[in-house]
């Protein structure tokens, strides 16, 4: 199944929130990658389509790597997963983040692959070159 994900790097969360804010009112979407149980990257997938009503990840364009889950934004403060979100969650990893306005460190939620809320710690880490090897 893969490693247990316990946290997200603060800089990675900030990137996700900034990307979500900059694309608003269109939704942002990406894949999450983890190292040693900590989400450290948001991967942008070629061919991703984005609109005010949703974002569509082209999973067949997904890079050949293990992903921890997905991240996407909603254009409203409602951070509950839609039926389409739940379908995506069931196909792509165990950690799924939804961010919404005002796109701050308090305006996001994390879910498991079934759409149940799950804890995810925000961790201050210093990125080093070996972290990305």
Would you name the residues annotated as active-site residues? 27
Non-local (6+) Cβ contacts of 116 within 8 A are none
Write the CA distances from 47 to 37, 69, 77, 83, integer angstroms.
28, 18, 26, 22
Give buried/exposed letters for 65-88 (b at 16+ CB in 10 A, else e). Answer: eebbbbbbbbbeeebebeeebeeb
The residue among 103, 122, 124 whose CA lies nearest residue 17 is 103
Structure tokens, 1: 């199944």
């Amino acid at each position: 199944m893969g490693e247990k994900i316990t946290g997200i790097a603060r800089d990675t969360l900030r990137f996700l929130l900034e990307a979500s804010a900059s694309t608003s009112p269109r939704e942002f979407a990406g894949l999450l990658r983890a190292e040693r149980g900590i989400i450290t990257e948001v991967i942008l997938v070629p061919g991703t389509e984005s609109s005010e009503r949703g974002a569509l990840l082209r999973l067949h364009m997904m890079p050949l790597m293990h992903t921890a889950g997905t991240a996407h934004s909603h254009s409203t403060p409602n951070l509950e997963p839609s039926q389409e979100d739940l379908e995506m969650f069931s196909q792509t990893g165990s950690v799924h983040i939804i961010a919404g306005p005002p796109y701050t460190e308090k305006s996001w939620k994390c879910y498991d692959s079934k759409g149940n809320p799950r804890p995810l710690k925000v961790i201050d880490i210093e990125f080093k070159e070996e972290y990305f090897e």
